[in-house]
Amino acid sequence: MKFFIDTANLAQIREAQDMGILDGVTTNPSLMAKEGITGDQAVVAHYKAICEIVDGDVSAEVYRDWETDRKSTRLNSSHSRASRMPSSA
């Protein structure tokens, strides 16, 4: 059996690693937010910090903001259509 800790809390990860019982870490955006980690650069830096602590596997889940993508696509499509329309003079 392997022991994976499901957290983004570095102190908890270090504690489990120091005990010698840690086989890996699983974490996700919700756990990152719970620790106050926000923003792409901060999240990436935090994932790197986890990897530096853990000797085993790290499962770093990410998500895509579909609502933002949908709005961006709609805006780009509207802009594209508008730029092809003849201007009225």
pTM (two decimals): 0.68
Neighbours of 27 (CB within 10 A): 25
Q: Which whole-number Å values give the CA distances from 58 to 7, 32, 65, 66, in the listed order?
A: 11, 14, 23, 25
- CA atoms within a 13 Å half-sphere pointing along the CA-CB vector of 27: 27
Q: State the pLDDT at residue 83.
A: 39
Q: Residue 67: which pLDDT band, with cuts at 50, 70 and 90? A: low
Q: What three-state secondary structure class fits 16?
A: helix
Task: Read off the pLDDT of residues 10-59 as tens digits, 9 standing for 90 and up.
Answer: 999 999 999 999 999 999 888 999 999 988 889 889 999 999 999 999 98
